Homo-oligomer: A and B are copies of this chain.
Amino acid sequence: MDMIRGGVTAAKGFEAAGAETGVKYKDRKDMAVIYSQVPCRQAGVFTSNVVKAAPVLWDKNVIDYSPFVQAVVINSGIANACTGVLGYECCKKTVECAAKELDIPVDSVLVASTGVIGMQIPMEKITAGIEKLAGMKSSELEAGTMAAEAIMTTDTVSKEAAIRFEIDGKTVTVGGMCKGSGMIHPNMCTMLGFITTDIAISKELLQDALSTDVKDTFNMISVDGDTSTNDTLIVLANGMAGNEEIISKDDNYYKFLEALHIIDETLAKKMAGDGEGATALFETKVIHAGSKEDARVLSKSVICSSLTKAAIFGHDANWGRILCALGYSGVKFDPENIELFFEGKSGRMQIYKDGAAVDYSEEEATKILSEPEVRVLVDMKMGEYEACAWGCDLTYDYVKINADYRS
């Protein structure tokens, strides 16, 4: 498997575009389209929030019941959530406009929004935007990058990843993009993520692969503990790689799952590391847990702890907060029996054992905690399960960004 340059246009037959349309922002791209030259199998996972944005309600239907999908229209700046009947009407008009401009069926168009909750989308700007995007779309890698830039809100960098591998002599590509920086605590999947692939695979197995993999990737990141109203992760597979269609969980399925996992994990980590105001990616790996679920809950509890996140920002080896966060996670364990390490470029450093701190160097610990990727390793010594979760530090800038996000 080889990581390659590119995003949603890396796989055969996919086109994209990103453009300034003035829906919300001035002087920056705020609408994107993804288009496949041929019909795609579709799969999706969505927010578990009871309050679901209009596009989420719309897409769930399309993912479940449409025979195929051929395009996605995305806008940033306005989430189209808590917008009542008008919000759902907006999705309908968006899709009708895109179907006309791209000459594809109305029920083959997905729509996604991200941004401020509660504000109505100016429909005429969306319509004009779709016309613009339809004229611009291309299969160049740069077009994918422009789309990735157009879906950003408080993100500081665009987020793409692509991978290439072979199945039965055919080259298969999986590429994706995502956005997300605040209100990130996905439960089912992340803010907005789009993955395209030219693999031929049945719709059932595509959904199965996606639903399986998000549990260890997008669902294991958190920026602020707030599960969004808009979380959406879509995979489109157009079959243009020319492999024999995958219809059972054979070796080829697991090869695809491995590639999908690498793309999902790469994108998820990019999102966590670019959390609002973040200066560091904060990873916690829990090993030797009693169950997979325990490992997930423990690692996520640590990366979600506001106090631990603030300590990471201060490069302060305040490991007691990590112990505390493990302790209130809901998982039962004996604090006397676990071990704690920091991991940096210079190697692994033990911090805690037998119920108390070991004799470690504060200076060395501060050095490790000053790296752009801070890693904590927790050995539960209870079983054989492990999990990894990713977050970021809690900074002044997080507060600044969110104290006045709407203006």
Contact = CB atoms under 8 A, between A and B. Distances in A.
A84 B355 contact: yes
B405 A318 contact: yes
Contacts of A404: 314, 316
Nearest to A48: B328
B356 A82 contact: yes
B325 A226 contact: yes
Interface in A2-61: 48-52
A323 interface: yes
A226 B329 CA distance: 10
Interface string A361-404: 00000000000000000000000000000000011101111111
A406 interface: yes
Given A316-B404, A399-B398, A229 B356 contact: no
A242 interface: no
Interface stretch (A122-130, A211-219, A244-252, A332-340): A332-340
A229 B118 contact: no
A102 interface: no
Q: A-side binding surface: helix, strand, loop or mixed?
A: loop
Interface in A304-349: 304-307, 310-311, 313-314, 316, 318-321, 323-329, 331-333, 335-336
Contacts of A228: 324
B356 A83 contact: yes
B226 A116 contact: no
Contact of A313 (B321, B394, B403): B403
B313 A399 contact: yes
A327 B49 contact: yes
Given A356-B118, A394-B399, A395-B399, A226 B324 contact: yes
A263 interface: no
Contact of A396 (B116, B314, B321, B399): B399
A325 B227 CA distance: 8
A395 B402 CA distance: 10
Contact of A117 (B86, B321, B332): B321
B352 A82 contact: yes
A326 B356 contact: no
A229 B319 CA distance: 13
B402 A335 contact: no
A183 interface: yes
A79 interface: yes
Contacts of A136: none
Nearest to A307: B226
A1 interface: no
Given A118-B320, A229-B324, A306-B306, A311 B402 contact: yes
A144 interface: no
A332 B51 CA distance: 9
